[in-house]
Structure 1
Amino acid sequence: MSMQRDRQGLAVTGDAASIEALDAAVADYYAWRGDPVGRLQAATTTDGRFPLGHSAVASLLLLSGFPGHHPAVQSALLAAEAIDPAADARERRHLAAAKAFARGAIVGATEIWEDILLDHPRDALALRFAHDSYFYLGHSLSIRDSVARVLPAWDRQDAHYGHVLGQYAFGLEEAGELLRAEAVGREAIARDEEDGWAVHAVAHVLETASRQAEGIAFLKASRPAWSRAHALSIHNGWHLALYLIEEGRTDEVLADYDRHVAPRLADDSLLDLVDASALLWRLELAGADVGPRWTPLAAQWLRHVDEHVLVFNDLHIALAVGRSGDTEAVERHLASLDRYEREGQGDNREITVDVGRRLIDAVLAFAGGDYARTIDLILPVRYKIIRIGGSHAQRDLLTQTLIAAADRAGRHNLARALLAERLAIRPTARTRDHYVRVAASR
């Protein structure tokens, strides 16, 4: 089998049709639309010598939340191994990374992808796989630096250059460089208004900087464009909801939830389920009545209760089952976590034992009205919460929960201190009002 070249000029084992499918899959993946897995699976069906197609399918499935033992993941890995002798060194390293991720070595997988990027800084798959993994691990500086290391090697005329800028913008924001993040993110959007990840990066900047009114205007005006990045559309809508909640416009958020989120629950996208749990929880913290919306969400989450791919996901399962009122579902979730702590392996299991399980128990305690226990569980590990992954904005849910628990438990000095801390970095009217109310109750 002769070597072909992909759009980034890298050698790939496979026929011309497979390389075309690979390029299209990369474009789908970077743009958060289409079906990259389906494209690659179709190509591997017709081309018996396309090892990167198989390993990329495995990595894409793993990064979308499939457990390593899932038959689709294992089938892709076995198929890649069967034709491994035809692969070149880069392709073999891609397979090694996918195998590492499948056995729970998330950090090890990122190290392999980074090793690929040292030799091939324009490897679009390795760059994005590492980016997503760092996000799952909460490695904020690596999200930024992984892109910075390769950016000079990318041609500004490359079709994906704007998408790479969008990744860099998000990394800059997570590293606290808000001015640069906004500039880079807006440059990416100017290149492609449908770049959902660049829109997402700017949305993070505006939320972190407490620029709610600007954020609402920005996301509402650009919604027709970023909605076409369908795999990210619920998440960008979640960012809009954060601004609206902070402005007290919870009725609008509930209307958007019913229109955009609830109909997508059955699609079983883990990112959408995470956003749904976080959104309903934040609405309740803000005093809104979400009615029976927890019940179908908890039922959908229970399909994943035994997977334990990321403790971040397990935490959001706990939010849903805890508030659904289904005590049997709560017990099932806890029993599964107990087994995982005893028998599991890999990076996520270690993070679960170190900090994740405390946070899960904390939100379940909060859901049950045991606010003192919530405080006892979260307070000692609050500066380790970053280990569960996600973004600063997503993890802020736990800070808000801790503040609410302190307030409801009558721990007014603690609540006041936490609100003063929050007011220094997020000086919104809602936070200021809460601080004044708590300070007056001392």
Structure 2
Amino acid sequence: MLAALHGADAAFDAAISEDPDFALAHIGRARVHQLNMEGAEARAEATRARQLAAAASPRERQHVDIMASVIESQAKKAMTAAEQHLAEYPRDAQVLSLLLGAFGLYAFSGRPDHDAARLAVCEQYAGDYGEDWWFLTYLGWSKTEAGDVVSGRAITERGYALKPDNAGAAHAVAHALFEQGDAAEGRAFLTNWLPANDRTSFLQGHLAWHLALIALEEGDADGAMDIYERHIKPAGRPYPPLNIYTDTASLLWRMSLAGKTGLESHWRDVAAYGDGYFPKAGAHFADVHQALVAATTNAGALQARLAEMEARQADGKLAPGPSAIGLCRGIAAFAAGDHADAVRILAPLMPDLVRIGGSHAQRELWEDTFIVACLRAGQGHQAASLISERLHRRPSRRDLAWSQQAAQQ
């Protein structure tokens, strides 16, 4: 599970078969069910784990309670309990892993400092892990996402060298190369790693998504489409549904921004997939991606989702608050061709993008949309500072073209 490889489900099943009363095997299996959006099975295993943990050690009881709280959608309780648990049991890596990553408790908390929080908790326990392949992956990636890309890449590559078949490390290396703007090295790394580890990892499709992003930044929309067709589109993919849905929706949207046409059948496929796994508001990162799909295929579905999100916000259950709703409204205006209104809605939200979680690479989609809206509305000056910052951080052919368009306006 920590290496993002397939097989954790079978391993936990085998552990349960050997010892049906082993609480931690049940809660581990519950977590795999949750990642695969098998909610009923996840909750049933979590309940069983809680029952069995009553006779277990304090560490095991706390471990089960924290993991079960995540499965039961008690994210705030789980986050606080995990921080307390780690102070006593810092090498409980499964618990620490819940806080980390682009989809972790910190990232999806709605707080604007989640990048710093991930780095702080990793640095707090660095002495407890030393040269551990899993820990180095996440310490390095946390540094990368917090802006220290050079150090982050070096640490991540140390973890990768210890276990090259670790998909988590390959993913973190891909992020470091993306943030450094090294398209050639990023392409070389991923085109070597993906076939060598074909179908061993549940991050395989997402790593292909990273490869497609490189193609788009280099102006190769056809190449990105080919990668999408072969490795990313929903049909028959053995990856977590949240990855599949957000990767497909975001890549199709980015290809549309790049001028790619003829995507209607793909949008319909993604809409059907989302209707199956994310039919109602709840997971805000899925909701903001549902806005991309619905704005393209069914405006009425977007308005219905917005109403659900507003109800959750009123109940205090929408972690990013109004910023997530605003992003969806900006997407709706953009898709309707009202680019000036999209600029008006999205401009004040750019500093708040971090609240929706995910990685910086994933959140750039909304920056891209804002920039294109500015250019199409003849308001290139509105996006000039954002484009300049991106060029300073990691120049790409796409951003250079946008900079020239903005300057002409």
Q: TM-score, normalised by structure 2?
A: 0.89
Q: Which amino acid aligns with 2:257?
A: L
Which residue type is aligned with residue 153 of structure 1? Answer: D
Q: Quote how far apart the aligned CAs of 1:246 are.
A: 0.9
Match of residue 305 from structure 1: 278
Is the Cα contact below 8 Å between 1:419 and 1:434 reproduced in 2? Answer: yes
SS where residue 256 of structure 1 aligns? helix
Pairing 1:192-207 to 2, within 5 Å after superposition: 192-207=163-178
Partner of residue 399, structure 1: 367
Q: 2:261 aligns with which of 282, 289, 296?
A: 289
State how far apart, in whole Å, the 2-side matches of 1:196 and 1:240 are. 14
Aligned to 2:210: 239
Out of 92, 95, 98, the residue aligned to residue 123 of structure 1 is 92
SS in 2 for 1:314: helix
Higher mean Cα deviation, 400-409 or 360-369? 360-369
Contact residue 265 and residue 272 of structure 1 kept, 8 A: no
Structure 2 alignment gaps of length 5 or more: none
Task: Give yes or no for the alignment of 1:425 onto 2:393.
Answer: yes
RMSD over aligned Cα atoms: 2.4
| Percent identity between the two aligned chains | 29
Per-residue CA deviation, residues 289-348 of structure 1 (Å, 9 max, x unaligned), is 252211101110112334544311111111112222x34433443344344345x554xx
Q: 1:149: how far off? A: 2.4
**1:208 and 2:183 aligned:** no
Find the partner of 1:79 among 48, 51, 64: 48
Shift of the alpha carbon at 1:45? 5.7
Give the paired residue count.
401
| Residue in 1 that maps onto 2:356 | 388
Deviation at 1:57, TM superposition (A): 3.3
Q: Distance in 2 between matches of 1:345 and 1:129?
A: 22
Q: Which residue of structure 2 aligns with residue 145 of structure 1?
A: 120
Contact kept in structure 1, 2:253 and 2:292, CA below 8 Å: yes
1:363 aligns with 2:363: no
Which is worse superposed, 167-176 or 113-122?
113-122
Cα offset, 1:429, TM superposition: 2.9
Separation in structure 2 between the aligned mates of residue 303 and residue 430 of structure 1, nearest angstrom: 34
Partners of 2:236 and 2:311 in 1: how far apart?
27
Q: Which amino acid aligns with 1:393?
A: A
Which of 250, 260, 266 is the equivalent residue of 2:221? 250
Task: Give the deviation of 1:101 after TM superposition.
Answer: 2.6
CA shift for structure 1 position 56: 3.0
* Superposed counterparts of 1:5-404, under 5 Å: 29-41=1-13, 43-44=15-16, 47-62=19-34, 64=35, 66=37, 70-131=39-100, 132-137=104-109, 139-154=114-129, 156=131, 161-262=132-233, 264=235, 267=238, 269-292=241-264, 293-324=266-297, 326-342=298-314, 346=317, 349-351=318-320, 353-404=321-372
The residue number in structure 2 matching 1:14 is none
Once residues 77 and 384 of structure 2 are traced to their aligned partners in structure 1, the CA distance between those partners, rounded to angstroms, is 42
CA distance in 2, matches of 1:291, 1:48: 49
Q: Residue 221 and residue 80 in structure 1: after superposition, are their counterparts in 2 closer, same or farther (change >3 A)?
A: closer
Equivalent residues of 1:44, 1:53 under 8 A apart: yes
Structure 1 alignment gaps of length 5 or more: 1-28
Structure with the larger RCO, 1 or 2 (CA within 8 Å, 6+ apart): 2
How many angstroms apart in 2 are the aligned matches of 1:174 and 1:265?
Answer: 31
- Quote how far apart the aligned CAs of 1:239 are: 1.1
The structure whose Rg is larger is 1
Distance 1:418 1:55, change over 3 A: same
CA deviation after TM superposition for structure 1 residue 259, in Å: 0.9
Aligned partner of 1:186: which letter?
A: E
Please tell me whether the aligned partners of residues 206 and 232 of structure 2 are also in contact (alpha carbons under 8 angstroms).
no
What is the TM-score with the length of structure 1 in the denominator? 0.83
Secondary structure of 1:113's aligned partner: helix
